[in-house]
A and B are shown apart, each in its own frame.
Chain A
Amino acid sequence: MDFVQMGLMLISSIFAGFVGALFGIGGGVIIVPTLTAFLGLGIKDAIATSIVGVVATSIAGASRYLKQGITNVKLALFLETSATLGAMSGAMLEMVSPSSILFMILAALLLFMALNQVKTFREEERRIRSGGFKGKGDRISNGLRLSGSYHDAADRVRVEYTPTRSKLGILMSYFAGLFSGLLGIGGGVLKVPIMNQFMDVPMKVSVGTSKFMIGITASTAALVYFSFGLVKPELASPVVLGVVMGATLGAMVMNRIKAGYLKLAFASLLVYFSYLMATKGLSLMVGA
Protein backbone atom coordinates (compact mmCIF):
# COMPACT_ATOMS: atom_id res chain seq x y z
CA MET A 1 0.00 0.00 0.00
CA ASP A 2 1.39 3.40 -0.97
CA PHE A 3 0.33 6.96 -0.13
CA VAL A 4 -1.96 7.23 -3.18
CA GLN A 5 -3.85 4.02 -2.32
CA MET A 6 -4.12 5.06 1.29
CA GLY A 7 -5.41 8.46 0.23
CA LEU A 8 -8.06 6.85 -1.97
CA MET A 9 -9.13 4.52 0.83
CA LEU A 10 -9.29 7.42 3.25
CA ILE A 11 -11.43 9.59 0.94
CA SER A 12 -13.91 6.82 0.06
CA SER A 13 -14.13 5.87 3.75
CA ILE A 14 -14.84 9.46 4.79
CA PHE A 15 -17.70 9.48 2.27
CA ALA A 16 -18.99 6.07 3.47
CA GLY A 17 -18.88 7.21 7.09
CA PHE A 18 -20.68 10.45 6.26
CA VAL A 19 -23.51 8.73 4.33
CA GLY A 20 -23.71 6.00 6.98
CA ALA A 21 -24.16 8.51 9.79
CA LEU A 22 -26.66 10.59 7.83
CA PHE A 23 -28.98 7.64 7.13
CA GLY A 24 -28.28 5.23 10.00
CA ILE A 25 -26.70 2.59 7.76
CA GLY A 26 -23.35 0.81 8.01
CA GLY A 27 -21.80 2.09 4.79
CA GLY A 28 -20.56 -1.31 3.61
CA VAL A 29 -22.45 -0.75 0.34
CA ILE A 30 -19.96 2.05 -0.44
CA ILE A 31 -16.79 0.58 1.10
CA VAL A 32 -16.90 -2.88 -0.56
CA PRO A 33 -17.30 -1.73 -4.22
CA THR A 34 -14.63 0.97 -3.73
CA LEU A 35 -12.11 -1.50 -2.34
CA THR A 36 -12.78 -4.08 -5.06
CA ALA A 37 -13.26 -1.84 -8.12
CA PHE A 38 -10.79 0.99 -7.48
CA LEU A 39 -8.15 -0.63 -5.30
CA GLY A 40 -8.26 -4.12 -6.79
CA LEU A 41 -8.84 -5.96 -3.51
CA GLY A 42 -10.35 -9.45 -3.50
CA ILE A 43 -13.97 -9.65 -2.35
CA LYS A 44 -13.06 -11.54 0.87
CA ASP A 45 -10.50 -8.92 1.91
CA ALA A 46 -12.94 -6.15 1.01
CA ILE A 47 -15.78 -7.65 3.09
CA ALA A 48 -13.51 -8.30 6.10
CA THR A 49 -12.17 -4.73 5.91
CA SER A 50 -15.64 -3.29 5.37
CA ILE A 51 -17.19 -5.02 8.41
CA VAL A 52 -14.53 -3.45 10.67
CA GLY A 53 -15.34 -0.11 9.03
CA VAL A 54 -19.05 -0.64 9.73
CA VAL A 55 -18.31 -1.13 13.45
CA ALA A 56 -16.21 2.05 13.44
CA THR A 57 -18.87 4.16 11.70
CA SER A 58 -21.48 2.88 14.13
CA ILE A 59 -19.40 3.73 17.20
CA ALA A 60 -18.47 7.18 15.88
CA GLY A 61 -22.04 7.99 14.76
CA ALA A 62 -23.78 6.54 17.82
CA SER A 63 -21.51 8.36 20.27
CA ARG A 64 -22.31 11.70 18.60
CA TYR A 65 -26.04 10.92 18.52
CA LEU A 66 -25.97 9.85 22.18
CA LYS A 67 -24.39 13.17 23.06
CA GLN A 68 -27.19 14.97 21.17
CA GLY A 69 -29.83 12.82 22.94
CA ILE A 70 -31.03 11.34 19.63
CA THR A 71 -30.14 7.65 20.12
CA ASN A 72 -32.67 5.73 22.22
CA VAL A 73 -30.57 3.03 23.93
CA LYS A 74 -33.57 1.20 25.47
CA LEU A 75 -35.35 1.00 22.11
CA ALA A 76 -32.14 -0.17 20.39
CA LEU A 77 -31.58 -2.97 22.90
CA PHE A 78 -35.26 -4.01 22.84
CA LEU A 79 -35.24 -4.37 19.02
CA GLU A 80 -31.75 -5.88 18.96
CA THR A 81 -32.95 -8.96 20.87
CA SER A 82 -35.02 -10.12 17.90
CA ALA A 83 -32.69 -8.69 15.21
CA THR A 84 -29.77 -10.76 16.55
CA LEU A 85 -31.98 -13.83 16.75
CA GLY A 86 -33.10 -13.20 13.15
CA ALA A 87 -29.50 -12.77 11.95
CA MET A 88 -28.55 -16.09 13.59
CA SER A 89 -31.54 -17.86 12.00
CA GLY A 90 -30.66 -16.30 8.64
CA ALA A 91 -27.05 -17.46 8.83
CA MET A 92 -28.25 -21.01 9.61
CA LEU A 93 -30.88 -21.00 6.84
CA GLU A 94 -28.43 -19.57 4.30
CA MET A 95 -27.63 -22.95 2.76
CA VAL A 96 -31.19 -24.16 2.16
CA SER A 97 -33.08 -21.08 0.99
CA PRO A 98 -33.69 -19.96 -2.63
CA SER A 99 -31.79 -16.64 -2.51
CA SER A 100 -33.09 -15.30 -5.86
CA ILE A 101 -36.70 -15.17 -4.61
CA LEU A 102 -35.61 -13.63 -1.31
CA PHE A 103 -33.68 -10.91 -3.14
CA MET A 104 -36.80 -10.11 -5.19
CA ILE A 105 -39.02 -10.02 -2.07
CA LEU A 106 -36.57 -7.69 -0.37
CA ALA A 107 -36.41 -5.48 -3.48
CA ALA A 108 -40.21 -5.14 -3.45
CA LEU A 109 -40.25 -4.46 0.32
CA LEU A 110 -37.60 -1.74 -0.02
CA LEU A 111 -39.52 -0.12 -2.86
CA PHE A 112 -42.71 -0.16 -0.77
CA MET A 113 -40.83 1.46 2.13
CA ALA A 114 -39.37 4.09 -0.23
CA LEU A 115 -42.84 5.03 -1.49
CA ASN A 116 -44.09 5.24 2.08
CA GLN A 117 -41.21 7.57 3.00
CA VAL A 118 -42.12 9.88 0.10
CA LYS A 119 -45.83 9.80 1.02
CA THR A 120 -45.18 10.78 4.65
CA PHE A 121 -42.36 13.34 4.31
CA ARG A 122 -44.60 16.39 4.82
CA GLU A 123 -46.51 14.73 7.64
CA GLU A 124 -43.26 14.10 9.56
CA GLU A 125 -42.44 17.82 9.66
CA ARG A 126 -46.01 18.72 10.62
CA ARG A 127 -45.95 16.21 13.47
CA ILE A 128 -42.58 17.46 14.70
CA ARG A 129 -43.94 21.02 14.94
CA SER A 130 -47.28 20.01 16.48
CA GLY A 131 -45.99 17.42 18.98
CA GLY A 132 -47.69 14.65 17.03
CA PHE A 133 -45.20 11.95 18.01
CA LYS A 134 -46.28 12.03 21.66
CA GLY A 135 -48.86 9.29 22.00
CA LYS A 136 -50.13 6.87 24.59
CA GLY A 137 -47.78 4.05 23.54
CA ASP A 138 -48.53 0.42 24.22
CA ARG A 139 -48.05 -1.99 27.10
CA ILE A 140 -44.48 -2.95 26.13
CA SER A 141 -43.24 0.56 25.31
CA ASN A 142 -44.75 1.91 28.53
CA GLY A 143 -43.44 -1.01 30.59
CA LEU A 144 -39.89 -0.59 29.25
CA ARG A 145 -40.20 3.22 29.29
CA LEU A 146 -39.15 3.47 25.65
CA SER A 147 -40.47 7.00 25.17
CA GLY A 148 -38.00 9.86 24.91
CA SER A 149 -37.31 13.31 23.52
CA TYR A 150 -34.65 15.15 21.53
CA HIS A 151 -33.94 18.67 20.35
CA ASP A 152 -34.56 19.06 16.62
CA ALA A 153 -31.91 21.55 15.50
CA ALA A 154 -33.55 22.17 12.09
CA ASP A 155 -37.02 23.03 13.45
CA ARG A 156 -35.73 24.33 16.79
CA VAL A 157 -38.25 22.38 18.86
CA ARG A 158 -38.05 19.70 21.53
CA VAL A 159 -39.69 16.59 20.06
CA GLU A 160 -41.30 14.16 22.48
CA TYR A 161 -42.20 10.71 21.20
CA THR A 162 -43.65 7.40 22.36
CA PRO A 163 -43.01 4.29 20.28
CA THR A 164 -46.11 2.24 19.45
CA ARG A 165 -46.83 -1.20 17.93
CA SER A 166 -43.87 -2.72 19.83
CA LYS A 167 -44.92 -6.29 18.98
CA LEU A 168 -44.95 -5.49 15.25
CA GLY A 169 -41.61 -3.69 15.63
CA ILE A 170 -39.92 -6.64 17.30
CA LEU A 171 -41.37 -9.03 14.70
CA MET A 172 -40.19 -6.83 11.82
CA SER A 173 -36.76 -6.52 13.46
CA TYR A 174 -36.54 -10.29 13.48
CA PHE A 175 -37.16 -10.28 9.71
CA ALA A 176 -34.64 -7.45 9.22
CA GLY A 177 -32.07 -9.61 11.01
CA LEU A 178 -33.15 -12.67 9.02
CA PHE A 179 -32.72 -10.88 5.66
CA SER A 180 -29.40 -9.49 6.85
CA GLY A 181 -28.16 -12.97 7.84
CA LEU A 182 -29.57 -14.65 4.73
CA LEU A 183 -28.53 -12.15 2.09
CA GLY A 184 -25.55 -10.49 3.73
CA ILE A 185 -27.02 -6.97 3.59
CA GLY A 186 -26.61 -4.48 6.40
CA GLY A 187 -29.65 -4.15 8.63
CA GLY A 188 -29.75 -0.34 8.85
CA VAL A 189 -31.63 0.15 5.61
CA LEU A 190 -34.49 -1.93 7.09
CA LYS A 191 -34.22 -0.88 10.74
CA VAL A 192 -34.72 2.84 10.07
CA PRO A 193 -38.08 2.46 8.22
CA ILE A 194 -39.26 -0.19 10.73
CA MET A 195 -38.90 2.27 13.59
CA ASN A 196 -40.09 5.29 11.61
CA GLN A 197 -43.01 3.78 9.68
CA PHE A 198 -44.22 0.95 11.89
CA MET A 199 -43.36 2.11 15.41
CA ASP A 200 -44.06 5.83 15.00
CA VAL A 201 -40.56 6.90 16.02
CA PRO A 202 -39.30 10.22 14.53
CA MET A 203 -36.96 9.83 11.55
CA LYS A 204 -33.92 11.30 13.31
CA VAL A 205 -34.33 9.05 16.36
CA SER A 206 -34.69 6.07 14.00
CA VAL A 207 -31.40 7.00 12.31
CA GLY A 208 -29.54 7.51 15.62
CA THR A 209 -30.94 4.32 17.17
CA SER A 210 -30.21 2.24 14.05
CA LYS A 211 -26.63 3.52 14.11
CA PHE A 212 -26.17 2.12 17.63
CA MET A 213 -27.85 -1.21 16.72
CA ILE A 214 -25.62 -1.77 13.67
CA GLY A 215 -22.49 -1.73 15.83
CA ILE A 216 -23.87 -4.45 18.10
CA THR A 217 -24.61 -6.83 15.20
CA ALA A 218 -21.54 -5.98 13.10
CA SER A 219 -19.04 -6.25 15.99
CA THR A 220 -20.00 -9.91 16.53
CA ALA A 221 -19.43 -10.71 12.83
CA ALA A 222 -16.24 -8.63 12.73
CA LEU A 223 -14.80 -10.44 15.78
CA VAL A 224 -15.26 -13.75 13.95
CA TYR A 225 -13.45 -12.42 10.83
CA PHE A 226 -10.72 -10.93 13.03
CA SER A 227 -10.13 -14.05 15.11
CA PHE A 228 -9.80 -16.15 11.92
CA GLY A 229 -7.10 -13.75 10.71
CA LEU A 230 -9.19 -12.47 7.77
CA VAL A 231 -8.88 -8.79 8.72
CA LYS A 232 -5.71 -7.20 7.35
CA PRO A 233 -4.76 -4.39 9.76
CA GLU A 234 -2.89 -2.45 7.03
CA LEU A 235 -6.15 -2.19 5.06
CA ALA A 236 -8.52 -1.77 8.00
CA SER A 237 -6.59 1.10 9.61
CA PRO A 238 -7.10 3.79 6.92
CA VAL A 239 -10.73 2.66 6.45
CA VAL A 240 -11.46 2.98 10.19
CA LEU A 241 -9.80 6.40 10.41
CA GLY A 242 -11.72 7.58 7.34
CA VAL A 243 -15.15 6.39 8.47
CA VAL A 244 -14.63 7.79 11.97
CA MET A 245 -13.97 11.23 10.42
CA GLY A 246 -16.91 10.90 8.00
CA ALA A 247 -19.35 9.59 10.60
CA THR A 248 -18.46 12.33 13.07
CA LEU A 249 -19.09 14.92 10.37
CA GLY A 250 -22.32 13.21 9.21
CA ALA A 251 -23.67 13.03 12.76
CA MET A 252 -23.02 16.73 13.23
CA VAL A 253 -24.91 17.58 10.02
CA MET A 254 -27.89 15.20 10.31
CA ASN A 255 -29.80 17.04 13.05
CA ARG A 256 -29.54 20.32 11.11
CA ILE A 257 -31.40 18.87 8.12
CA LYS A 258 -35.22 19.11 7.99
CA ALA A 259 -36.69 15.69 8.78
CA GLY A 260 -38.79 15.78 5.60
CA TYR A 261 -35.74 16.22 3.37
CA LEU A 262 -33.97 13.47 5.29
CA LYS A 263 -36.91 11.17 4.55
CA LEU A 264 -36.80 12.03 0.84
CA ALA A 265 -33.06 11.39 0.67
CA PHE A 266 -33.53 8.13 2.55
CA ALA A 267 -36.25 7.12 0.07
CA SER A 268 -33.72 7.57 -2.78
CA LEU A 269 -31.30 5.35 -0.87
CA LEU A 270 -34.03 2.71 -0.47
CA VAL A 271 -34.76 2.81 -4.23
CA TYR A 272 -31.04 2.30 -4.91
CA PHE A 273 -30.91 -0.67 -2.50
CA SER A 274 -34.07 -2.06 -4.10
CA TYR A 275 -32.40 -1.85 -7.52
CA LEU A 276 -29.28 -3.61 -6.16
CA MET A 277 -31.38 -6.41 -4.65
CA ALA A 278 -33.49 -6.83 -7.81
CA THR A 279 -30.44 -7.06 -10.09
CA LYS A 280 -28.81 -9.58 -7.72
CA GLY A 281 -32.01 -11.63 -7.67
CA LEU A 282 -32.35 -11.52 -11.45
CA SER A 283 -28.72 -12.46 -12.02
CA LEU A 284 -29.13 -15.44 -9.68
CA MET A 285 -32.30 -16.50 -11.54
CA VAL A 286 -30.56 -16.27 -14.93
CA GLY A 287 -27.49 -18.03 -13.54
CA ALA A 288 -29.67 -20.86 -12.18
Chain B
Amino acid sequence: MKADRLCYLILTLGMVSSASLLAIGLALYFLGLPYRWAMLSGITLLLFTPMAAVSSTIPSFFMEGERPNAFVSLIVVLFMIFALLLSFFR
Protein backbone atom coordinates (compact mmCIF):
# COMPACT_ATOMS: atom_id res chain seq x y z
CA MET B 1 0.00 0.00 0.00
CA LYS B 2 1.23 3.53 -0.78
CA ALA B 3 2.69 5.47 2.15
CA ASP B 4 0.20 8.37 1.84
CA ARG B 5 -2.79 6.02 1.83
CA LEU B 6 -1.43 4.04 4.79
CA CYS B 7 -0.80 7.26 6.77
CA TYR B 8 -4.32 8.44 6.01
CA LEU B 9 -5.84 5.16 7.20
CA ILE B 10 -3.80 5.09 10.42
CA LEU B 11 -4.51 8.75 11.24
CA THR B 12 -8.23 8.34 10.55
CA LEU B 13 -8.46 5.11 12.56
CA GLY B 14 -6.50 6.70 15.45
CA MET B 15 -8.65 9.83 15.40
CA VAL B 16 -12.02 8.05 15.23
CA SER B 17 -11.22 5.42 17.87
CA SER B 18 -9.65 7.87 20.34
CA ALA B 19 -12.44 10.43 19.90
CA SER B 20 -15.03 7.69 20.44
CA LEU B 21 -13.31 6.55 23.65
CA LEU B 22 -13.09 10.14 24.91
CA ALA B 23 -16.77 10.75 24.13
CA ILE B 24 -17.69 7.55 26.01
CA GLY B 25 -15.47 8.74 28.91
CA LEU B 26 -17.23 12.11 29.04
CA ALA B 27 -20.66 10.45 29.00
CA LEU B 28 -19.62 8.15 31.87
CA TYR B 29 -18.22 11.18 33.76
CA PHE B 30 -21.55 13.00 33.64
CA LEU B 31 -23.44 9.82 34.54
CA GLY B 32 -21.25 9.42 37.63
CA LEU B 33 -19.84 6.07 36.47
CA PRO B 34 -16.13 5.02 36.32
CA TYR B 35 -14.78 6.97 33.35
CA ARG B 36 -10.97 7.20 33.61
CA TRP B 37 -10.30 3.92 31.79
CA ALA B 38 -12.04 5.24 28.65
CA MET B 39 -10.39 8.67 28.73
CA LEU B 40 -6.90 7.30 29.45
CA SER B 41 -7.20 4.70 26.66
CA GLY B 42 -8.42 7.42 24.27
CA ILE B 43 -5.54 9.78 25.06
CA THR B 44 -2.94 6.96 24.86
CA LEU B 45 -4.28 5.91 21.49
CA LEU B 46 -4.30 9.53 20.27
CA LEU B 47 -0.71 10.25 21.31
CA PHE B 48 0.72 7.11 19.71
CA THR B 49 -1.11 7.67 16.42
CA PRO B 50 1.48 10.02 14.78
CA MET B 51 4.34 7.65 15.68
CA ALA B 52 2.37 4.72 14.25
CA ALA B 53 1.70 6.69 11.05
CA VAL B 54 5.38 7.60 10.57
CA SER B 55 6.55 4.06 11.42
CA SER B 56 4.15 2.62 8.85
CA THR B 57 5.83 4.57 6.08
CA ILE B 58 9.15 2.73 6.57
CA PRO B 59 8.06 -0.66 5.14
CA SER B 60 5.74 1.11 2.71
CA PHE B 61 8.52 3.23 1.16
CA PHE B 62 10.82 0.22 1.20
CA MET B 63 8.35 -1.91 -0.75
CA GLU B 64 7.76 0.96 -3.21
CA GLY B 65 11.50 0.94 -3.92
CA GLU B 66 12.00 4.35 -2.32
CA ARG B 67 14.82 3.39 0.02
CA PRO B 68 16.10 6.95 0.68
CA ASN B 69 12.61 7.94 1.92
CA ALA B 70 12.41 4.78 4.05
CA PHE B 71 15.72 5.85 5.60
CA VAL B 72 14.37 9.39 6.23
CA SER B 73 11.29 7.92 7.98
CA LEU B 74 13.52 5.70 10.09
CA ILE B 75 15.55 8.74 11.18
CA VAL B 76 12.36 10.59 12.20
CA VAL B 77 11.15 7.61 14.26
CA LEU B 78 14.56 7.27 15.93
CA PHE B 79 14.60 11.01 16.72
CA MET B 80 11.11 10.72 18.25
CA ILE B 81 12.26 7.85 20.47
CA PHE B 82 15.49 9.71 21.34
CA ALA B 83 13.56 12.92 22.20
CA LEU B 84 11.26 10.91 24.47
CA LEU B 85 14.17 9.27 26.26
CA LEU B 86 15.97 12.61 26.56
CA SER B 87 12.91 14.22 28.17
CA PHE B 88 12.59 11.39 30.69
CA PHE B 89 16.21 11.60 31.81
CA ARG B 90 16.53 15.42 31.89
Using CB atoms and an 8 Å cutoff, list the residues of chain A in contact with chain B: 3, 6, 52, 55-56, 58-60, 62-63, 66-67, 69, 71, 73-74, 77-78, 80-81, 84-85, 87-88, 91, 143-145, 212, 215-216, 218-224, 226-227, 231, 233-234, 236-238, 240-241, 244
18 contacts between A and B (CB under 8 A): A74-B66, A81-B72, A88-B86, A144-B66, A144-B68, A144-B72, A216-B76, A216-B80, A218-B50, A219-B48, A226-B47, A234-B39, A238-B26, A240-B18, A241-B19, A241-B22, A241-B26, A244-B19
Q: How many residues of B contact A (CB 8 A)?
A: 46
Chain A residues with CB below 8 A from B30, complex form: 3
| A77 engages B88 (CB within 8 Å) | no
Chain B residues with CB below 8 A from A244, complex form: 15, 19
Closest to A66 in B: B8
Given contacts A144-B69, A220-B83, contact A73 B11 (CB under 8 A): no
Q: Is B40 an interface residue (CB 8 A)?
A: yes
Closest to B36 in A: A233
Closest to A231 in B: B43
Using CB atoms and an 8 Å cutoff, list the residues of chain B in contact with chain A: 3-4, 7-8, 11-12, 14-15, 18-19, 22-23, 25-26, 29-30, 36, 39-40, 42-44, 46-51, 54, 57, 66, 68-69, 72-73, 75-76, 79-80, 82-84, 86-88, 90
Given contacts A143-B68, A145-B66, A240-B19, contact A80 B50 (CB under 8 A): no
CA gap between A78 and B57 in the complex, in Å: 12
Chain A residues with CB below 8 A from B76, complex form: 77, 80-81, 84, 216
CA gap between A62 and B49 in the complex, in Å: 12
With a 10 A CB-CB cut-off, give which of B4, B15, B29, B47 has the most chain A CB atoms. B47
Q: Which of A56, A59, A81, A237 contacts B39 (CB 8 A)?
A: A237
